[in-house]
Chains A and B, each alone.
Chain A
Amino acid sequence: MSGDEACAEGAISAGCRFFAGYPITPATEIAERMSQRLPEVGGIYIQMEDELASMAAVLGASWGGVKAMTATSGPGFSLMMENIGLGLMTETPCVVVNMQRGDPSTGLPTLTGQGDMMQARWGSHGSYGIIALAPNSPQELYDLTIRAFNLSEKYRLPVLIMSELATAHMYEKVVIPPVSEIEITPRRKPTVSPEEYLPYKPDSDLVPPMANAGDGYRFHTTGLTHDERGYPAMSAEAQDKLVRRLVEKVKMNRDKIIELDEDGIDDAEVVVCAYGIPSRVSFRAIERAREEGIKVGMLRLITVWPFPEDRIRQIAGQVKAFIMPEINYGQVVLEVERCAGGMTKTIPVPHMGGGVHTPELILDAIRQAVR
Chain B
Amino acid sequence: MSKVTGDNEKHPLDAYLRTERLPHIWCPGCGSGLVLNCFIRSLLKSGLNLDKVAVVSGIGCTGRAAGYIRLDSFHTTHGRAIPFATGLKLANPELKVVVFSGDGDLTAIGGNHFIHAARRNIDITVLCVNNFIYGMTGGQLGPTTPLAARTTTTRMGSTEEPFNIPYLAAASGAVYVARWTTAQVRRLEKAITEALLKKGFSLVEVISPCPTYYGRLNKQASGLDTMKYYRSNSVIKPDIDLKYADIKLNGQIVVGKFVDIERPPIPNL
**A46 proximal to B (CB < 8 A):** yes
Partner of A59, one of B79, B87, B89, B95: B87
Q: A65-B92, A222-B67 are in contact. Are A57 and B84 (CB under 8 A)?
A: yes
Task: Give the distance in Å from the alpha carbon of A57 to the alpha carbon of B76 in the complex.
Answer: 11
The answer to whether A68 touches B91 (Cβ under 8 A) is yes
Q: Which residues of A contact B112 (CB under 8 A)?
A: 49-50, 53
The answer to whether A61 touches B87 (Cβ under 8 A) is yes
Task: Give the distance in Å from the alpha carbon of A106 to the alpha carbon of B119 in the complex.
Answer: 28
Against A, the Cβ 8 Å flags (1 = close, 0 = not) of B22-61 are: 0000000000000000000000000000111010100000
Enumerate A46-77 residues with CB–CB distance to B below 8 Å.
46, 48-50, 52-54, 56-66, 68
Q: How far is the CB of A126 from chain B (nearest CB, A)?
A: 13
The answer to whether B21 touches A231 (Cβ under 8 A) is yes
Give the residue among A46, A52, A213, A214 with the most B Cβ atoms within 10 A: A213
**A224 proximal to B (CB < 8 A):** yes
- Nearest-neighbor residue (CB-CB) of B91 within chain A: A64
The answer to whether B83 touches A48 (Cβ under 8 A) is yes
Give the residue among B52, B72, B87 with the most A Cβ atoms within 10 A: B87
Chain B interface bracket (under 10, 10 to 19, 20 to 34, 35 or more): 35 or more
Q: Which residues of B contact A223 (CB under 8 A)?
A: 75-77
Q: Which residues of B contact A367 (CB under 8 A)?
A: none
The answer to whether B77 touches A231 (Cβ under 8 A) is no
Q: Which residues of A contact B88 (CB under 8 A)?
A: 60-61, 63-64, 213
The answer to whether A60 touches B86 (Cβ under 8 A) is yes
Q: Which residues of A contact B87 (CB under 8 A)?
A: 18, 20, 56-64, 68
Task: Give the distance in Å from the alpha carbon of A86 to the alpha carbon of B83 in the complex.
Answer: 13
Partner of B90, one of A61, A212, A218, A232: A61
Q: Which residues of A contact B71 (CB under 8 A)?
A: 218
Q: A52-B83, A214-B52, A218-B70 are in contact. Are A66 and B92 (CB under 8 A)?
A: yes
Interface set of B (CB-CB < 8 Å, partner A): 18, 20-21, 50-52, 54, 56, 66-67, 70-77, 79-80, 82-92, 94-95, 112-113, 116, 267
Interface set of A (CB-CB < 8 Å, partner B): 17-18, 20, 44, 46, 48-50, 52-54, 56-66, 68, 82-83, 85-86, 90, 212-224, 231-232
Instruction: Identify 27 residue pairs between A and B in the complex whose beta-carbon atoms are under 8 Å apart, listed by A's number.
Output: A20-B83, A20-B86, A44-B90, A44-B91, A48-B116, A52-B83, A52-B113, A53-B113, A54-B83, A56-B86, A57-B83, A57-B87, A60-B84, A60-B86, A66-B92, A83-B77, A214-B92, A218-B71, A220-B66, A220-B72, A220-B74, A220-B75, A221-B74, A222-B74, A223-B75, A231-B21, A231-B67
- Please list the 6 inter-chain residue pairs (A to B) with the smallest Cβ-Cβ separation, ordered nearest first: A64-B91, A60-B87, A57-B87, A53-B83, A222-B75, A60-B88
